[in-house]
Structure 1
């Protein structure tokens, strides 16, 4: 599976601001989509799709629209999963190299 991280737009075919119901329709055929109930008095919730090689968590802060996407690293290095930003493989590129390359692209870094 290939997922491209697109800041301000989304991850893969999940778009920030998109209705969660549409995202859920696309994710459910891939596996067991677990939707956590919102806390009392709060409309925010998260949904997690746990696949054999990695997890995707979709966060919905206002009860209806996607506000964030988290992709959890796979455990096996030979997993057929590629999470990319530009031409960088985010989970296989060593951290220092990744940070330097992202900064070269003109993006800031929170790393010391």
Structure 2
């Protein structure tokens, strides 16, 4: 399966600003869908599509329209970027979960994009509004220079920057 990041518009077939009902239906392409929230402590509604080895989370802060889309990559990489699934999460033809993080961020910078990597575990491509994460509870290969997972484990696309420099 291929999932294409399309910042700042979303991750097709889900787009930022899409109404709740349409988002639930669109998310079915990725797997079994469930709706989480709102709760008394958190008014945000989340629509989660779960598939074998990955999930996609749609975030609706106002409970009505999609504000962000987060895809979490598969677990089980043995160190060569092959996680045993056919999932490919692409931005401009590059698989963001199979390209080492140390190579991916300079690729964005070389294309003229601004990177905020003050938090190396969660860098942001500011003008594309893509936030990456290297956080995982899984036993995965780590980068010998910084001790973080070698590959990104999640990518969030929104219509606003999570951090401003």
Q: TM-score, normalised by structure 1?
A: 0.89
Aligned match for 2:89, one of 71, 83, 87: 83
Kindly report which structure 2 residues correspond to 1:6-25, keeping only aligned pairs within 5 A, or say none: 6-25=6-25
Distance in 2 (alpha carbons) for counterparts of 1:14 and 1:22: 8
Cα deviation per residue 1:33-70 (whole Å; 9 max; x = unaligned)?
A: 12112123864211111100210000001111000011
Q: 1:12 to 1:50 in 2, by over 3 A?
A: same
SS of the aligned residue for 2:25 comes to helix
Q: Is the 8 A contact 2:13 2:27 kept in 1?
A: no
Tell me the equivalent position of 2:72.
72
Deviation beyond 3 Å, 4+ runs, structure 1? 28-31
Aligned residue for 1:35?
35
Are the equivalent residues in 2 in contact too, given 1:2–1:12 (CA < 8 A)?
no
1: CA distance between counterparts of 2:25 and 2:95? 27
Deviates more, 1:40-49 or 1:80-89: 40-49
Counterpart in the other structure of 1:4: 4
Q: Could you list the runs of 5+ residues in structure 1 that have no partner in the other structure?
A: none
Residue 93 of structure 1 corresponds to 99
**Change in CA separation of 1:81 and 1:29 when aligned onto 2, cut-off 3 Å:** closer
The farther-off stretch of 36-45 and 100-109 is: 36-45
Query: Which deviates the most, 71-80 or 52-61?
Result: 71-80
Aligned residues: 112
Distance in 2, matches of 1:89 and 1:37, equals 31
* Partners of 2:30 and 2:50 within 8 A in 1: no
Relative to structure 1, the CA distance from residue 41 to residue 52 in structure 2 (aligned partners, 3 Å threshold; closer, same or farther) is closer
Calculate the aligned-residue CA RMSD, in Å: 1.8
